[in-house]
Amino acid sequence: MLGGYGVSDFRPWISWLNKFNGLDQKIEKCFKGLDNLYDRVIEEHLDLKRPKPEHEDLFDVLLRVQNDPSQTIVLTSDQALTSDQIKRVLTVCCIFFLLAFEDMVPGADTSTATLVWTMVELIRNPRALSKAQDEVREVLKGKQVVEESDLPKLMHLELVMKESFRLHPPVPLLVPRETLQSCMIEGFEISANTMVFVHAKMIRNDPKCWENPKEFLPERFMDSSIDYKGNHFELLPFGARMRGCPGINFGVKLIELALANLLYCFDWELPHGVRIEDLDMGEATGLVVPWPKLAMDSQLLLLFVFLIPIIFLLLIKHRKKSTASQARRLPPGPRRLPLIGNLHKLSDGGLPHHVLERLAAKYGDLMFLQLGSVSTLVVSSSHMAREIFKTHDLIFSGRPALYIPKKLSYDCVNLTFAPYGDYWREVRKIVIFELLSAKRVQMFQSVRDEEVGLMLESIAHSKGPVNISELTLFLANNVVSRSAFGKKYDDGGEVGKSRIHELLEETRTLLGGYCVSDFLPWISWLNKFNGLDQKLEKCFKGLDNLYDRVIEEHLDPKRPKPEHEDLVDVLLRVQNDPSQTIALTNDQIKGVLTVCCIFFLLAFEHMLLNCYYDFFFFFRLLQRYCVGLIYIVSSFPNKLSFWSPIVV
């Protein structure tokens, strides 16, 4: 839901419609789910009987920061980091995890992804598959499995990863930015508070940047210094500069480790009768959802029936604003209608980035749209991306206040959706230097190695069909749970069982939806009637209760000291650290955890293909496992999700 838009974001004066269209209900449901989850986790971390962990998790860090008297940023003059603030930070971190992991792990009950994108591309290109397998098996000859320390030796695997990120960017539309002040771009006047979309998918398809852009050619990076970390504007899978994704290393390391082991331990073949050309690489809805044509039509109908007098007044106001805007030199764009601007263009159907791609092909790589009351800029070339991310990075570092993210992110206090300012800078510092630092990522190496090994062992000992989608989902869940919360919550022995992933998946899905009130804020009251507010409330309460439990467990004095801090340990430590300049609350910790977890899971899942039908891969186990032949079954949801809030 955090990745979605509502018409009220573009027409704030109709935000009341969200009370009737179900959006407010969805947000409230989601919020309560998260809040209950966080309360539970915090309670576990605060339990005096909790064993001291070997390494701090996110909750431990935030609780430490919470108790740190040196923190200088507080919500009020007499308030230190609260549990609510911890929850907000947790929300951000958990979304980070989920997003990062989506590159390789299929969603269990959504239409997001099902089989590794990279493996599908390799199977579609037997020569590339053979070359990748030859390298990993030659370099690691004699070893049982690939370890994380082996990855730097696999040079061709790095090329495969780069090409996969180029050909299948995790987010075709980066999370929108907002201008903090007016500026000039290529002679065009861009006003303050303009929403900005960067079309990463169009950039990766630009023939000016890439030869044969639609072909899978890892060798194109052989003598190239281009990377995917935001330093080169031809390749922006994770954004760039100030709002670039801080969790790249965590997600990519797990992706590389899992991919290397799948290449090393198994031979890959298509099942009998399935041809390479039968592989369906089509996209579908998930976090990328079609513009809400039907929902928008019904809500606008109510609007015109009951608010005709107001409409006439707004038309007069719009006429005056149009006269003023004509005096400015705006980038090219389609003709705008009264009140709705260009919203009708987006309701033509199709995925959002497809709609914008068609419009950009006609109006250019710097296109202006008027979405309701919100001025919008669409950037679709590396040259224009450089202008945004490098020349004017500070001016374009804001975030629009969207309806769903505001509801689910504790009033936009997490890293992804927080407005630019002192608070955002301090939270970013905590995330970069405490939660997702190179040292912290290295601490979790044993977790990644162990969980990947368990996945391979499970496959190797199977005597029948294996659901690879389910296995990789368990891998992502376990790594996220152990890294963020200090233990597994989905192993069947804990109260949380599969609830964590369900809540994070529901949150991610809601974030990918669209809210009419984002464009027309004055109809947001409809969200109370269309079920959206109820869904948001349920989702929020579920996560919040879980986080409360986790925090409580981490604060338990009887909790054994862990070998390494998990993310909760880190956040709780930061919370209690007097030298910190920000006083985190429990809600902020929850917000960070949510974003981190969702980020990692999504980035891990993204490299999975989704098809229009169930698809079977035929795997031949190598002799080291000595269990013969098995089929790996991947149950595909309908299509692939592309757009998700991976960038902060």
* In the chain, where the domains are located: 7-634
Reference 599, options 171, 229, 189, 269; nearest CA is 171
Determine the pLDDT at residue 612: 27
Binding residue ranges for heme: 245
Q: Are 114 and 607 in contact (CB under 8 A)?
A: no
Q: What is the pLDDT of residue 1?
A: 56
| Mean pLDDT calculated for residue range 532-545 | 84
What pLDDT score was predicted for residue 443? Answer: 85
Q: Please give the backbone phi and psi of residue 278, each rounded to the nearest 5 degrees, phi first.
A: -80, -15
Residue 52, token pair as written in the block: 């001291």
Confidence check: pLDDT of 524 > 50: yes
Most confident of 49-63, 226-240, 306-320, 471-485: 226-240
AA identity, residue 57: D
- How many CA atoms lie less than 13 Å away from 359 in the CB half-sphere? 29
pLDDT tens readout for residues 175-212: 889 999 999 999 999 999 999 999 988 998 888 889 99
Residue type, 33: G
pLDDT tens, residue by residue, 549-575: 888 888 998 888 888 888 888 888 888
Report residue 342 as tokens: 């260009």
Of all residues in the chain, what percent are helix, strand and coil, respectively (each to 5)? 50, 15, 40
Annotated binding site: 245
- 587-617: buried (b, 16+ CB within 10 Å) or exposed (e) per residue? bbbbbbbbbbbbbbbbbbbbbbbbbeeebbb
Mean predicted confidence (pLDDT) in 389-415? 84
Q: If pLDDT is split at 50, 70 and 90, which confidence band does 14 have?
A: low
List the one residue out of 93, 91, 4, 55 whose CA is nearest residue 600.
93
Average pLDDT over residues 10-19: 69
The pLDDT assigned to 315 comes to 56
433 within 8 A of 425, measured Cβ to Cβ: no
**Is pLDDT at 29 greater than 50 in this prediction?**
yes
Closest-CA residue to 221 (of 209, 206, 230): 209
More reliable by pLDDT, 247 or 282 = 247
Give the pLDDT confidence of 255-314 residue by residue, as tens digits. 788 888 888 887 776 666 667 666 655 554 333 333 443 344 445 444 544 554 555 555
Q: Which of 185 and 627 is assigned the larger pLDDT?
A: 185
- Per residue, the 3-state secondary structure of 17-46, as one string, reads ECCCCCHHHHHHHHHHHHHHHHHHHHHHHE
Compute the mean pLDDT over every residue in the chain, rounded to the nearest whole number: 73
- At 250, is the pLDDT very low, low, confident or very high (cuts 50, 70, 90)? confident
Tell me what percent of the residues of the chain surpass a pLDDT of 70.
67
- Phi and psi torsions of 583, nearest 5°: -95, 100
